[in-house]
Amino acid sequence: MEEMFWEVHSGLKREAPGSEESTLRALDKVILTGEEPVILDIGCGPGDQTITIAKTFRDAKVMAVDTHEPFLDELVKRSDEARVLDRIEPLKISMFDMHFPNEHFDLVWAEGSAYIMGFQNALRSWRRLLKEEGYLGLAELAWLKEAPSDEAREFWNTGYPQMKHMDENRKLIDEEGYELIETFILPESDWWDSYYGPMEKRINELKEKYQGKPENLAVLEAEMEEIGIYRKHSDEYGYVFYVIRKN
């Protein structure tokens, strides 16, 4: 029921927990010294953070990559409204098929999308995209407790079996040849205000729409289960921002 998934997610401000405040906090640790820096936003979704990046680095070109065309269309619309469209280039490309032979990026950004490849694979694969001493900013789902509850562990062992403790990810950063510049845990408000809150409202509306259609309702219940797990176990896992630099 892929169509149902997109119906749930269509029109959301973000496709992962986050906020302008957290994006700006991470960007504050990035120093771009080139005259015409080039930035790559991987898995940009509808582009809330893409626009923040473009507003922050006004001399930069931002290339924004996603596979879902409606997200890119929404990015174009929002970028035009924010008056930064002239510096944003949307690209319908899979992160598994990124070939930029003439580009080495000053900054590569991925808020909530590295899990698609797995955190270590993303670190290893995206290193080749960076200039020497280029920056990489990632928001990654991670365990905050060494021994999470059985319920949370069971849920995420299905949803993201590669998920690691936040300190394990720090070790991987060092092993893959990066310097850790900054790390912080996204506040719970980043989950609720622009992601789970609007999503929960959408799900309840769609439950009314699809009454009597078990397959559709099953998709909605699965989405609601994820929200319920976080509501009960938000102290056990979260998104952790890592701002790192290529050594």
* Mean pLDDT, residues 83-97: 96
Q: Is the pLDDT of residue 62 over 70?
A: yes
pLDDT of residue 1: 65
Helix axes 2-9, 197-209, angle to 10 degrees: 130
Residue at 228 is within a domain: no
Residue at 180 is within a domain: yes
Residue at 142 is within a domain: yes
Residue at 223 is within a domain: no
pLDDT of residue 190: 98
Q: Is the pLDDT of residue 100 over 90?
A: no
Residue at 226 is within a domain: no
Query: How many domains, in total, are found in the chain?
Result: 1
Residue at 96 is within a domain: yes
Q: Is the pLDDT of residue 46 over 90?
A: yes
* Mean pLDDT, residues 86-112: 93
- pLDDT tens digit string along 102-157? 778 999 999 999 999 999 999 999 999 999 999 999 999 999 999 999 999 999 99
The DSSP bridge partners found for residue 61 are: 38
Domain that holds residue 76: 13-188+236-246
Residue at 176 is within a domain: yes
Cβ atoms < 10 Å from Cβ of 214: 8
Q: Looking at per-residue confidence, does 166 or 216 come out higher?
A: 166
**% residues pLDDT > 70 (the chain):** 100
pLDDT of residue 191: 97
Q: Is the pLDDT of residue 101 over 80?
A: no
Residue at 206 is within a domain: no
pLDDT of residue 196: 97
CATH number where 95 lies:
3.40.50.150
pLDDT band (50, 70, 90) for residue 72: very high
Integer angstrom CA distances of residue 170 from 69, 110, 240, 241? 33, 16, 10, 11
- In angstroms, rounded to a whole number, what is the distance separating the alpha carbons of residues 58 and 54? 6
- In angstroms, rounded to a whole number, what is the distance separating the alpha carbons of residues 229 and 225? 6
